[in-house]
Amino acid sequence: MSRILLALSALALLSACGVKGDLARPDPLWNREDAIRRECAEQAARNEPQDARCAQYQTGAGQ
């Protein structure tokens, strides 16, 4: 029983190690253009910094 608790605590400590900060979300596989356009609109509505992919939709180059 103590080995199990020791292993679980070791895993919990190791899980804290890893990538720091936000992880970039990959592009969707289907309806990519619609999803990116929708995400850019949501970011603009929340006054968040825009992703680099949003530039083509702001200038109209992607249409």
Q: Express each pLDDT in 40-51 by its tens digit.
A: 888 889 998 887
In the chain, the number of structural domains is 1
Note the pLDDT tens digit of each residue in 8-26.
Answer: 888 887 776 766 666 677 7
- Look at residue 4 in the predicted model and tell me its pLDDT: 92
Choice between 62 and 37, residue whose per-residue pLDDT is larger: 37
Instruction: Identify whether 52 is part of a domain.
Output: yes
| Whole-number percent of the chain with pLDDT over 70 | 78
Say whether pLDDT at 62 is over 50: no
Half-sphere exposure of 28 (CA within 13 A, CB side): 10
Q: Please check whether residue 21 lies inside any domain of the structure.
A: no
Q: Answer whether 63's CB lies under 8 Å from 46's CB.
A: no
Tell me, yes or no, whether 23 lies in a domain: no
**Is 34 inside any structural domain?**
yes
pTM for this entry: 0.47
Count of beta carbons in the 10 Å neighbourhood of residue 54: 18
Structural domain of residue 34, as residue ranges?
30-63
Residue 20 lies in a domain: no
Do the domain assignments include residue 12? no
